[in-house]
Amino acid sequence: MNSRCLHILGLSLLGALCGASALHAADAPPSGNQPNILVILTDDLGFSDLGCYGSEIDTPNLDRLAAGGLRFSQFYNTAKCHSSRVSLLSGRWCRQAGDESLRRAVTIPEVLAPAGYFTAMAGKWHLSKQPSDFGFQRYFGHLSGACNYYKGDKSFRLNGQPWQVPESGFYTTVANVDHALSFLGDARAEKKPWFLYLAFNAPHAPLQPLEADYKKYLGRYDVGWDTVRAARVAKQKQLNLFGRDIEPAPRPDHIPPWSALAAETRAWEARRMAAYAAVIDRDD
């Protein structure tokens, strides 16, 4: 990403900023100095699951973007997958925008494209119709709410047309990035500023990491969630993430202490946490 890119971590506010700036950009012809805009959306990710927010998971690239941009200390979503996407793309509450149909909203790419931007998306859509119906000039990904990471599903599309998932050698996260990079090549060939929306399915269930990524984290979570949580809180204090001293909230009543779990259950949960970390690592 070059120096003209917009670096912001905290995607709800990013959507509002992009929408606001794009509305002004559409009123005037392209000036030749528009920033490239990259929006990365992860699915079912906890706020502290990135290194720059206290995580032990290796996310050096996202951490570098945070260090070179803005890192927000407050974030709100709509507690639902599709509705958060509607708000991110339109800057409106989901119901105001017309829910999945977006019939009462204008999306970021629908505003940026007339302003001279090359608009592209890769990843999970989970809304009505297809991204190519809402201002995206390029699209690769699945229209469904979730899919098998290795086998995909029948909703995969490439620029509006059905796309057959290969029988072998396929992994959704990798395919999304490969197509996104190809789209950026198209943007450079057309010598246009670009808006890229990269919507990962990961770490949404099912937890299906690549074998190498999974092996990297095996054993790391054997210490249990109480120890991991304490380490994250300590790192957040070291980073001065909240600008003041903090105390962690009490453990929810329905979550038992790690020490109270049976050995078999601890082994199962440690493997699940390793799989979760692995799919986030691959996002990075």
Active site amino acids: 81, 126
Structure tokens at 132: 């190519």
Structure tokens at 191: 């010598």
Number of Cβ atoms within 10 Å of the Cβ of 38: 19
Residue 135 DSSP SS3: coil
> Distance of CA 8 to CAs 24, 35, 69, 170, Å?
19, 12, 5, 30
Residue 197 to residue 201: CA distance in whole angstroms: 13
In total, the chain counts a number of residues equal to 284
Strand order in the sheet with 5-6: 5-6, 36-41, 194-199, 118-123, 138-142, 156-158, 161-162
